[in-house]
């Protein structure tokens, strides 16, 4: 079989035109779309799966970690999901109901008047010079184009920015390796008073030693899959149930289809071995069984795009304030899952001083008509390890929706939007932006 290139030319139908098109309906994208629509912008939300929510639903990721200042859309969404307020590590250790979330998010978006496209991956962009003029969507009736005055890339991997040719980085300095991927799953049949463990920051004791030291020792003895030494067990809303965050595939670049398939096969095989471990070695789990598994990989890290400002390690370390702040008091530890082994990449997870995220981190260099949102915004590998969590991404999403809507309604590029106008909209909504 030969490889190479072919020339492919086809006229595409313009399916519709909007003020704002948001690509990706994870925590950032859902908030971006509702945020833009509430400003009166005609808004579309484009999702590659048949369900809204990304990691909030099909990724089966919980608890909703991290914190931001009061008054953001995160507060509203947590209330709709029925989740008690979470601090930087999810103080309640409480998972939301993924099935309920599928319904709640549709209502949340639909009530705002957003047009929803499901089962609709974005496969390319239409450029007008350095400006994104449209996105090419794949539908059951062929390729179509959605045009807009402004676009929000909340795809996680930064697909729109990538297709547009925006500059990006991936992985850590030195070897460019990214954090591992995981496949979340839920077990039932657990005794209700059985152990729970949120992760490396949790020093829960078990049989005379720290639980994660216990699991690491048994992993080294071959009782768990390689690199799956951290057995994180979260309580859910249902008695006798735990959400398990343990499976791990290293060396996976989730922007490569071959890597995604490899990880999917590997991690689904790991689930059986983890359940076997729980039944044999953890009291109260003897009768546990798999209830459900995530429908997509939990991807922690791929592309980070170069913006007008790159959020730096010291900004988190010092709790930096910015004049053009759009997310205030973001807080979550620098949580770097080891790209080459199990556990954490750094011996001690670094805590942060609640920090600001400036509007400039959401504006990619050189590319116009586009606002970055969620984990693909501009920051270092270590900074990303903090702001990638869902609470912070929700607040980023709300701000990105405001910036995109202002650009669209004024007929200007997002980089030309006055940050004070973005701040005014957020302040008028009750968002706390300043000390």
CA distance 27 to 12: 31
Task: Report residue 22 as tokens.
Answer: 């948001």
Least confident of 1-10, 35-44, 240-249, 400-409: 1-10
Q: Would you state the pLDDT for residue 203?
A: 86
**Interval 370-379: pLDDT, tens:** 999 999 999 9
| pTM greater than 0.85 (yes/no) | yes
**Interval 265-281: pLDDT, tens:** 999 999 999 999 999 99
> What value does the mean pLDDT of the chain take?
95
For residues 172-194, give the mean pLDDT.
Answer: 96
Q: Does pLDDT of 91 surpass 60?
A: no
Do 18 and 147 contact (CB within 8 A), yes or no? yes
- Give residue 355's pLDDT band: very low, low, confident or very high (50, 70, 90): very high
Give the 3-state secondary structure of 5-68.
CCCCCCCCEEEEEEEEEEECCCHHHHHHHHHHHCCCCCEEEECCCCCCCHHHCCCCCCCCCCEC
Q: Does pLDDT of 92 surpass 80?
A: no
- Give residue 90's pLDDT band: very low, low, confident or very high (50, 70, 90): very low
Q: Would you state the pLDDT for residue 199?
A: 84
- Give residue 118's pLDDT band: very low, low, confident or very high (50, 70, 90): very high
Give the rounded percent of residues in the chain with a pLDDT score beyond 70: 97
For residues 395-410, give the mean pLDDT.
Answer: 98
Burial pattern 117-134, b for ≥16 Cβ within 10 A else e, equals beebbbebbbbeeeebbb
- Give residue 1's pLDDT band: very low, low, confident or very high (50, 70, 90): low
């Amino acid at each position: 079989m030969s490889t190479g290139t072919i020339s492919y030319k086809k006229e595409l139908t313009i399916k519709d035109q909007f003020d704002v098109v948001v690509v990706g309906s994870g925590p950032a994208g859902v908030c971006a779309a509702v945020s833009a629509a509430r400003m009166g912008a005609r808004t579309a939300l484009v999702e590659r799966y048949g369900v809204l929510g990304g990691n909030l639903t099909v990724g089966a990721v919980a608890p909703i970690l991290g914190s931001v200042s009061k008054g953001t859309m995160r507060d509203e969404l947590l209330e709709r999901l029925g989740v008690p307020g979470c601090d930087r590590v999810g103080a309640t250790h409480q998972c939301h109901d993924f099935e309920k979330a599928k319904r709640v998010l549709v209502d949340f978006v639909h009530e705002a008047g957003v047009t929803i496209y499901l089962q609709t991956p974005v496969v390319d962009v239409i450029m007008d010079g350095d400006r994104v003029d449209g996105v090419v969507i794949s539908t059951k009736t062929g390729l179509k184009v959605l045009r807009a005055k402004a676009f929000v890339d909340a795809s996680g991997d930064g697909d729109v920015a990538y297709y547009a040719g925006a500059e990006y980085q991936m992985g850590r300095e030195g070897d460019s390796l990214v954090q591992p991927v995981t496949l979340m799953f839920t077990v039932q049949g657990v005794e209700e008073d059985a152990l729970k463990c949120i992760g490396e920051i949790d020093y829960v004791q078990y049989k005379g030693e720290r639980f994660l030291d216990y699991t690491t020792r048994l992993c080294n003895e071959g009782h768990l899959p390689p690199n799956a030494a951290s057995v994180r067990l979260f309580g859910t809303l249902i008695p006798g149930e735990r959400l398990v965050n343990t499976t791990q595939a290293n060396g996976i670049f989730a922007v490569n289809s071959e890597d995604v398939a490899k990880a999917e096969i590997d991690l689904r095989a790991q689930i059986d071995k983890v359940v076997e471990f729980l039944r044999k070695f953890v009291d109260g789990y003897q009768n546990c069984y798999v209830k459900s598994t995530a429908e997509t990989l939990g991807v922690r890290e791929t592309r980070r795009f170069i913006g007008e400002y790159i959020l730096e390690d010291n900004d988190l370390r010092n709790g930096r304030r910015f004049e053009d702040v759009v997310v205030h008091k973001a807080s979550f530890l620098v949580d770097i899952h080891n790209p080459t082994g199990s556990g954490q990449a750094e011996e001690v997870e670094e805590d942060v001083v609640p920090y600001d995220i400036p509007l400039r981190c959401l504006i990619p260099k050189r590319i116009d008509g586009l606002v970055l949102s969620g984990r693909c915004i501009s920051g270092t590998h270590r900074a990303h390890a903090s702001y990638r969590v869902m609470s912070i991404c929700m607040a980023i999403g709300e701000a990105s929706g405001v910036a995109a809507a202002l650009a669209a309604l004024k007929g200007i590029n997002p980089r030309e939007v006055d940050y004070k106008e973005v701040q005014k909209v957020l302040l008028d909504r009750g968002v706390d932006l300043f000390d």
